[in-house]
Amino acid sequence: MEMDSDKLIFRLKKQYNAIEIPGELNERVDSAMNGAGVHPGAGLRHGRGFMRALRGTAIGAAALAAAFIGVVNVSPSAARAMQDVPVLGQISEFLSFRSFDDEQYGVEAHLTIPEISGMENETAQINLNRAVNEYVDSLIVLHNDDVATAKKAYIEDPELMEESETVHISMTNICTVLTDNDEVFSMRLTTDIVMAGAQELYKCFTVDKRTGEVISLGELFRENSDYAEVLTGIVARQMVERAAEDEGVCYFAEEEGFEGVSQVQNFYITDAGTLVLCFDEYEIAPGYMGAQTFEIPTEEIEDILFGGLLK
Amino acid sequence: MRNDPADQRIGNALIEYRTNMYRVAYSYMNDRDDALDVVQESCLKALRACSTLKNTDNVKAWLLRITANTALDMIKKNKRSCPMEELPDRGETDSYERMELMDMLGKLDDKCREVMVLRYFEDIKIADIARQTGENVNTIKSRLHRAIMKLHGEYEKDTEAL
């Protein structure tokens, strides 16, 4: 009986997690945040000069959107993000946003691209913005591929064109600042891709404000250290612990899921200087578990640390 | 510019947990548009109620409880204007499986349903649920137990009927 209930709950939970997320959700959350008393122009009253720079740059034609990368836009989501700093976490720097909006053949992309300015270490700022742009460019390539595929399908079957108002694929992203202190700036771009199902892609960026370098995981550790293996061991152990603690927790078995921590693993550093490893949805666990993060206790890796960012 | 830390926390949480809010809302409303309305209304409520969020509160639990309550309110309102049973079947893409979930949840009373969704589907700790509902941990545990017994009983009935 106990077992049967477990199975039943597990099955219901799977169904629950299969509830499709409509593309409109982001818009509705945005509009609620806008409606909560923060109005356009609030920034100006507080002397935020950059609001002025945004005036009159509204962009219309979607077909030309690709050409506008690099232009500051006043799309509702970008404007929201600028007025409503709460969504960005505690930051000392200025964040402004460019946006990429394109909609063709039922494929749409609405990307908000953060641009950091006012960081004391200018090299850090340049490097960070460059890394973000390279990543966003790769998303745009993905989007363009999807558009090309959809276009081809329409050419082959013109009847599809009549239904072209139906969005088949939509891509949106959101920026969250995770840590911002004297030494470290970590942020995450979350990209939602909605097709038949929904998937979230995460990309974290961390810049060492002392050196100005955007850091990769390996740079936190001594050269020639076996950091990937050490981290793999810690993550594997935490997975077992979590699964033992809560029967609802489930990870893919090793051969099909967790293949170990890689050199390009997503990570960020907390304000306290702790390393957090991030895995995408579906990467190591069934969809209902969502994206997974693992905090790595610094004392377990102190033998191989390098650079002093981790505490 | 609002720089209140509680506000910032809620702003971040709305971004982070919006899909969770939607699923909670959907699990009550069983309708896409209604669920979107519930999420939007819940966001507004959360932003307005930011002073009630304490530092030690689990923000996800806090937010999802607001969502569940907003959904219940909306159901009550809808009932007054139009009984649920008489609503036209929208005949969307609901699979058989989805119907099982909605069917099962519909058999639970409001309190059991809430703990079921928060604990089992959204992985909120019992202690955090207790904190948000202002009840003690044992009350929540027994409510969960009751929910499971009920579901199990319904499941048996269904399979026998087949």
A92-144 per-position pLDDT tens digit: 455 677 778 888 777 788 887 888 777 778 888 888 888 888 888 888 888 88
| pLDDT at residue A42 in the model | 26
Q: How close A74 comes to chain B (CA, Å)? A: 17
Question: Which residue among B1, B47, B123 sits closest to A43, beta carbon to beta carbon?
Answer: B1
Asked if A36 lies within 8 A of B98 by C-beta distance, the reply is no
Q: Give the number of other CB atoms < 10 A from CB of residue A105.
A: 21
Total Cβ atoms within 10 A of residue A96: 18
Predicted pLDDT at A68? 25
Task: Please report residues of A whose CB lies closer than 8 A to that of B5.
Answer: 90
Nearest CB neighbour to B120, from listed A9, A36, A85: A9
Q: How much is the pLDDT for A232?
A: 92
A62 is written with which tokens? 């979607």
Asked whether residue A91 carries a pLDDT value surpassing 70, the answer given is: no
Cβ-based interface (< 8 Å): residues of B facing A: 1-5, 7-12, 14-16, 18-19, 22-23, 26-27, 32, 36, 39-41, 43-44, 47-48, 97-98, 100-101, 104, 117, 120-121, 123, 148, 151-152, 155
Q: Count H helices, E strands: chain A? A: 8, 8
Per-residue pLDDT averaged across A227-231, rounded?
A: 93
Task: For residue A262, give Cα distances in angstroms to A202, A229, A267, A274, A289.
Answer: 15, 9, 11, 18, 21
B123 CB-near residues (< 8 Å, 6+ apart) = A246, A248, A249
Predicted pLDDT of residue A256: 61
Task: Say if residue A39's pLDDT is above 70.
Answer: no
Q: Given an 8 Å threshold on Cβ–Cβ distance, is B16 in contact with A4?
A: no
What is the CB-side half-sphere exposure of residue B134 using CA atoms within 13 A? 0
pLDDT higher for B11 or A273? A273
Q: Using one digit for the tens of pLDDT, what is the confidence trace for A249-264?
A: 778 765 566 888 888 8
Query: What pLDDT was estimated at residue B36?
Result: 92
CA dihedral (B55, B50, A198, B89) positive or negative: positive
Residues of B in contact with A12 (CB under 8 A): 100-101, 104, 120-121, 151
pLDDT category at B21 given cuts 50, 70, 90 is very high
User: Quick one: pLDDT band at residue A64, thresholds 50, 70, 90?
Assistant: very low
- Return the minimum-mean-pLDDT range out of A102-106, A193-197, B33-37: A193-197
**Distance between CA A182 and CA A73 in Å, rounded?**
30
- Average pLDDT over chain B reads 81
Half-sphere exposure of A54 (CA within 13 A, CB side): 24
Cβ within 8 Å of residue B126, ≥6 positions away? B119, B137, B140, B141, B144
What are the tokens at A268? 């960020």
pLDDT value for A22: 87
Residue A244 corresponds to which amino acid? A
Distances (CA, A) of A238 to A78, A151, A235, A243, A249: 38, 46, 5, 8, 12
Given a contact cutoff of 8 angstroms between Cβ atoms, the answer to whether A23 and A170 are in contact is: yes
What is the torsional sign of CA B21, B22, B26, B31? Answer: positive
Kindly indicate the confidence band of residue B125, based on its pLDDT and cuts at 50, 70 and 90.
Answer: confident
Considering only residues A78 and A54, tell me which one the structure prediction assigns the higher pLDDT: A78
The rounded distance, in Å, linking the Cα atoms of B23 and A16 is 7
Question: Which pLDDT band holds residue A160 (cuts at 50, 70, 90)?
Answer: low
Looking at per-residue pLDDT, the higher value among B9 and B41 belongs to B41
Residue % of chain A over a pLDDT of 70:
70
Give the tokens for residue B37. 């309305």
- The mean per-residue pLDDT over the stretch B55-75 comes to 88
Higher pLDDT, B92 or A42: B92
Q: Which of A95-99, B30-34, B73-77, B154-158 ranks highest by mean pLDDT?
A: B30-34
Asked if A15 and B101 come within 8 Å (Cβ–Cβ), the reply is: yes
B149 CA: distance to closest CA in chain A (Å): 8
Q: What is the mean pLDDT of chain A?
A: 71
Q: Which residues lie closer than 8 Å to A20 by C-beta, 6 or more apart?
A: A197, A198
8 Å CB contact of A36 and B121: no
Q: Which residues of B touch A13 (CB under 8 A)?
A: 120-121
pLDDT at A29: 86
